[in-house]
Amino acid sequence: MTLTATRRHPIGVFDSGVGGLTVVRALRQVLPGEDIVYLGDTARVPYGNKSPRTVERYSLTCQRFLLAREVKLVLIACNTASAQALPALVADSPVPVIGAVEPGAASALAVTRDGHVGVIGTLGTVRSGAYATAIHARRPGATLTALACPLLVPLAEEGWVDADDPVAALIARRYLAQLFEADPAIDTLVLGCTHYPLLRDVISRVAFELTGRTVAVVDSAHAMAEAARAIIAPAGNGRGAPGRLDCFATDTSRLEELAPRFLGEPLSGFELVDL
């Protein structure tokens, strides 16, 4: 299957839940004319505390669902799945697959002043060491400190994300204090989980309070969208009209409330699917 032959086909995006809609949001800004098929594996979320073998198995079923819809490109809009299942997903796909970790690592290295990078993510992402591998492959001298912050996912889903929300600030401070204690020189922080961009303001503010200086905060979403553009630029859909967004989920409870927060625009609903 060549990209030219499939130019009118959609881009496939999947996540363990709704956090991946932050990637769809970036994709719709960078490639507004592209059709997108999104799958949230909401019945099996979270992936972040499951074993690598389980995450790989679940991720393969998600990708096969998208491939059955003849997507021309797959974006793994989940750091945990990217960290633990990328090789298996690439091996199982006839179309290009873009993970979240490489673009996130590249974004961090593009902005860090002194090469001191912090990464926050799920337990699975941190345990995988995927960010350390990606960052050290690009810059062997970089210092990477990673911390699992499991409470940030439910916080984002609950919508307690404002920069002045006392609960969000308390939890962010508790985690980030550990991170900056481990490496006080961190100048760039990677949001290594697709839920965390909702908490960007509170995280930036707490990082400033803890360090007394501005810490750059980056995520993978925009870099993933740019990586998609680099791959499909010669094709595009050429219509000039906004692309379709078709959303599927393995459980649809609370999605009406949650999804627009992550997508940043209203959406017409999710179709329930059984993988």
* Catalytic positions, written as ranges: 78, 193
Give the footprint of ligand DGL on residues 81-110 (CB under 6 A): none
Looking at 42, 59, 63, 80, which residue binds ligand DGL (CB under 6 A)? 80
Query: Are 161 and 198 contacting, i.e. CB atoms less than 8 angstroms apart?
Result: yes
Any idea what the Cα angle at residue 143 is, between residues 139 and 144, rounded to 5°? 100
- Give min distance, CB of 153 to ligand DGL, in A: 5
Stretch that binds ligand DGL, among 15-23, 29-37, 135-143, 262-270 (CB under 6 A): 15-23
- Other residues' Cβ atoms within 10 Å of the Cβ of residue 60: 18
Which residue, 155, 159, 152, 161, is CA-closest to 119?
152
Candidate residues 45, 210, 223, 258; the one interacting with ligand DGL per rule CB under 6 A: 45
H helices of the chain, in order, are 21-30, 52-68, 79-91, 101-111, 123-128, 130-138, 152-158, 166-182, 200-211, 221-232, 255-263
In the complex with ligand DGL, which residue's Cβ is closer, 180 or 196?
196
With contacts defined by CB under 6 A, how many residues of the chain interact with ligand DGL?
A: 18
Contact between 19 and ligand DGL (CB under 6 A)? yes
Q: Using the rule CB under 6 A, give the single segment among 42-50, 85-93, 132-140, 154-162 that binds ligand DGL.
A: 42-50
The Cα 244–Cα 259 span in angstroms is: 16
| Residues at the interface with ligand DGL (CB under 6 A) | 15-17, 19, 45-48, 78-80, 121-122, 125, 153, 193-195
